[in-house]
Each structure stands twice: as C-alpha cells, then as structure tokens.
A and B are shown apart, each in its own frame.
Chain A
Amino acid sequence: MKSDITYPLNIGPVHPAFKEPIKFTFRIEGEKVVGADIDFGYTHRAIERIAQERNYIQIIYLLERVCGICSFSHPMAYCLAIEDVAGIEVPPRARYIRTIVGELERLHSHLLWTGVAAHEIGFDTLFMYTWNIREKVLDCLEELTGNRINYAMLTIGGVRRDITADNAQTIHQVLEYYEELYNRTSEILLDDLTLRARTEGVGILTIEQAERLCAVGPTARGSGLMKDVRVDYPVNAYYEILWLKPVSPRDIGKEPIGDVYDRMAVRVLEIQQAIKIIQFCMENLPEGDINTGSGAVKMINALKKLEGEGVGRYEAPRGEVCHYVILDNQEHPVQIKVKAPTYSNGFTWAPMLTNIEIADIPIVVASIDPCVACADRMTYVQADGSRTTISWEELRAKSIQKYKGVRRQWMK
C-alpha cells in the first residue's frame, strides 16, 4: 500500500474479533499504526453503585461478578479492605487456603491467556493444547469450591470451605500433572520460532513508560518494573514464603525490553511459580479454624457499628486489584471503589500500539491480558432507538422477562 496514505481505522465497540465490547480508533499510515485511542464504558454494570445497597456479605458475591476469570481476586481485595477497617485477624489456615485458591486461579488464568495469545497469532494448535490442559486446574477448583469460576470461597475473616484430605490428594495430582507438562509447555511458548518472530520487539512498553503510566502485573514486570503486591505488601500467606520474588524475563537470562515476548515470558514463569507456591502452602498448611466463626448476621451487625476507611490490595493474575471501602455505621459501605488491573494497564496500550503493523494489533492488545468487564464497572438504556431512561426495577423486570422468553423457546 502507498505509504503516504493516512486513514482512521475503527474497531468496535462490538466486533466479531472481540470477546468484550471496547472501541479502538487507530490512525494508520500505509500499514503502520501511528496513533491509538481507546474508549471504555460499553459493558458498565454500575457494580460500585449496586454495592451501596447490598449488605457486607452480599457484596462478596456481587464482586465475584466483576470478572469471571478474576472471580477470586475482587472479593479477596474487598475482604482484605473490610478486615483492615474492622481489625479482624484471619486464622493462619484460612490465609493459606486463600493463597492456594488464589494461585490455582493464577494458574488457570495464565493458561487461558497463553491460549488466547496463540489464537490471536493464528497458532490454534497451541490454543487447543493450553485450553485442554487448563481443564485439569478448573476441575480441581470445582472439587475444592463447587464451581469452575465464581468460587464463593471467601468470607470476611476467612474462607467458607476447608481443604479436606481428599482435596489435598487432588491438588497434589494436579501439581504433578502441571510439573510434568511445564518443560514441554514452556519450550513451545518461549522457544518456538513462529511465536518468537511474532512477539519479539513488538508492542514495546519501556520501564519508564510502565512506571509513569502506573502499569501493574505481568505488563509492568515484562518491562522490568519489579512490582508485585505479593512481595510489596503483606497479604495472605505470601509474606511467609521467604523465597518469593517478582518474576522477570531476567530469570531466563533475557534483559527485559517490555515487548510482547517479555510479557509472555513473565506469565509462563508465573505458572511455574504458582505451582511452587501451592506446594509450599500444602506442605506448611497449618491446622486450625478456617474463619472467625462469626455467622453472616453477627458479622453484619458488628460491621454496621463501625466507622472508618480501609484498603484491600491483592495481586490478581493480571496485576494489582485494589479496593477502597468507607464504612459509616450502616448495613452497607457508603462507598466502595474497585480498581481492576485493566483500569491501570489500559492506558499502556497507546505507546504499545504506536509504530506497529496492523497485523500485530490483535496480539499487542491481548498482551496486557485485558479484561474490559473488570475495568468497566449505569449507563442509560435506549429503548427502540429513543433515548428513554428506565428505572432499576423496570430494568430488572425486563431482564427476567427476556430470560423467561429464552427459556420458553429452548426448553420446550
């Protein structure tokens, strides 16, 4: 194509290539991207507003719905924030169980990402391979918690289910399974020539840009910014794991430049790290209670007498999740602010997407492991093209009506 042609390229908000709605506007010269703009807000569900009308226990399950893949991370940060305000001490066994489930989530999230990344560059054999082996950890989570996602495992002051001897055996089997497969999987992901050709030197985010733009998680670590809530801030059982350190491409002998390959290397190494953390926690799992013993009603009654502010931070697979809660003698927090990793990392797309080829857009966009639902949290509903606004009750009634219609159609 003529290199002097400059034109805009709009993708989204709803597009067959997207799993979630988001709008990109690129400025293209020839076949090169010279500018990128991102527009959020197409899947906003007003979760923070809804949380102001739910009690402290209901909010845990509401926040699991911020994101399907990080369905442990958001309620985890919320519970840590409430425990911070109330000064609740979590029993050691519960801290270890929280760490185990959190790392199992990281394992399945990173395997999911490697599949998505492979699919984005057309390597569908690898996509099928990683999604196939991911089933094992999902089965393990289902056995531990009852669900593949939305685990309902957490409560304020601990966890809701213990790890039994049978569960422990399953976890050991799953860890052995992934240990056996790790060398083969990492060899494909880190050494395959096709993957390297498509990811090395593409979508660069320098360490200075990562720091200025407040990047988090593997996106920051891939640029060499050693930022990881698990080692920066005492959370769950992580501070008892003395050998724990943030993963970096330096661990495979490569100086990080912040390209897609570096971000991928961090996630691959974190798969191995998650296996080791779970092994450590299983070997050192303390005996004792799994929560404070307060039932939901007792907990709500205690919390509604409190006033104060608390912060809960947790390292989700995609990066830092941080919740800020304000309590003011009510049955629900007067305010809860939710920050998901994509809220921080979305900003880093602009430098990454500049000066790349059009063909590289999908893998660069995928390289921060975006979760639009996480970052988006009332928009007006337009009925029949007119700008009619409807109330919450009407919206709920319409949702139920629609769902019943679908059921009637398919459940005959």
Chain B
Amino acid sequence: MKTESIVTVLQNKLGSHIQASREKITNYGNGINRVTLWISIDRESFHSSIAILKTMGRLHISTPMPYKEYEDRIELIYPFALKEKDTKFSEIMVIISVDIPKDDLKIRTITDIVPGALFMERETMEMIGVEIEDIPDPRRLFTGNYLPDGVYPLRTPKSKESMQ
C-alpha cells in the first residue's frame, strides 16, 4: 500500500483537519521496505479518520499509548499496524497523533471501531489522566482504587513527587 494514497484519501475526506504527515521508508532490497507513516489530525476529525483507516485494511493497535507533554497541550500517539492484504511485508505502521489542550483532557473512544484498543484506553485514563469519552469499560486496568484522584503515574516530566 502506498502511503501517499492513505494520506490522499484522508485529505479528500477530511480536508484541512489533516494537519501534517511524514513518512519514513527503509529499504531492505528486493522491493522489501519498512514503512512508517506519521499523521497529525485534529481532535474533531480524529474518530472519523480511524473509521476511514479501518476501511483500508486490517487495523491493529500495536502498543499502549505513548504521549508527549507540552506547556499547554498533550499529544496523544496511536500506533497502528495497517495491512491491506495478506501478502508478505505489506504491513505498514500508521502513527496517528492528536493534540488535546491541557484544560480539556478528553478524547473519544475508538473501541467502537477497534474493540481491541480497550486495554490501551483504560491504561491511558489511569496512567496519563486523559478522559476517554464513551469508553465501554472505564475501570482502572493496572492501578488500584486506593490511588488518589489526580495522581497519574506515567505523567512526565518528573511525576516522581506526585508518586511519593
């Protein structure tokens, strides 16, 4: 699958909601490539973009959610593996990133499109403190209920003080 076609389809359907994209292709000879595509999408169109990606092939969530913290916002990163057909080395990584403001840490669930993302979303809620709207199961995944409200163990930089 060509990365340009993924970006074009998203741009045709979502227009300027697609904020940026870049790709990285590493060639291994004999036409074998390792392809990673990064796409930044605004929060409004994030859910629709995942639904569109799902129509392009087998969409698999690959890791729990990494994130980047800035002064006024958090960038959530959704690492997907997308495979169009069952041919060798055709799976590409599609990394969707979406910015959410720190005074409104909310994002819509994607479990209605990719049900396998539930553990990832539950972990994101307890570890980073982002509210996942309409999540079918909002319970904590790893931490206990004795953890005080407002303590998010994986919030960096240096959340050590809050942990102690």
Residues of A within 8 A of B (CB): 40-41, 44, 46, 48-49, 52, 84, 211-215, 226-227, 229, 231-234, 239, 245, 309, 311, 313, 320, 322-324, 326, 334-335, 337-339, 343-344, 346-347, 376-380, 382, 387, 389, 391-392
Report the bound CA distance from A239 to B67 in whole Å. Answer: 31
How many angstroms from the CA of A44 to the CA of B60 in the assembled complex?
25
Also in contact, A347 and B144, with CB within 8 A (given A335-B66, A378-B153, A391-B164): no
Known contacts A41-B144, A380-B146: A311-B36 contact under CB 8 Å: yes
Within 8 A of A (CB), among B21-43: 24, 26, 28, 32-34, 36, 38
| A202 vs B28: C-alpha distance when bound (angstroms) | 42
Most chain A CB inside 10 Å of its own CB: which residue of B83, B89, B117:
B89
Any A CB within 8 A of the CB of B16? no
List chain A residues, Cβ under 8 A from B144.
Answer: 41, 379-380
The total of interchain contacts (Cβ-Cβ below 8 angstroms) comes to 127
What 14 additional pairs, Cβ within 8 angstroms, besides A40-B141, A49-B153, A213-B115?
A49-B154, A211-B58, A233-B91, A245-B88, A322-B63, A324-B66, A334-B156, A337-B64, A339-B62, A347-B119, A377-B142, A379-B144, A380-B147, A389-B163
Is B89 in contact with A226, judged by CB distance below 8 angstroms? no
Contacts of B90 in A (CB 8 A): 232
Expressed in whole angstroms, the Cα–Cα distance for A211 and B82 within the complex equals 12
Give the residues in chain B near A41, CB-CB below 8 Å. Answer: 140-144
Q: Is the CB of B164 within 8 A of A347?
A: no
A316 CA to B33 CA in the complex, in Å? 21
Residue pairs across A and B with Cβ atoms less than 8 A apart, 20 shown, are A41-B140, A41-B142, A84-B34, A212-B114, A212-B115, A214-B60, A214-B114, A227-B58, A227-B83, A232-B81, A232-B88, A233-B81, A233-B89, A233-B91, A234-B89, A245-B88, A311-B95, A313-B62, A324-B66, A380-B144
Residues of B participating in the A interface, judged by any CB pair closer than 8 Å? 24, 26, 28, 32-34, 36, 38, 58, 60-68, 77, 79, 81, 83, 86, 88-91, 93, 95, 114-119, 140-144, 146-147, 153-154, 156-157, 160, 163-164
A347:B118 contact, CB within 8 angstroms: yes
**With contacts A311-B79, A347-B116 known, is A232 near B91, CB below 8 A?**
yes
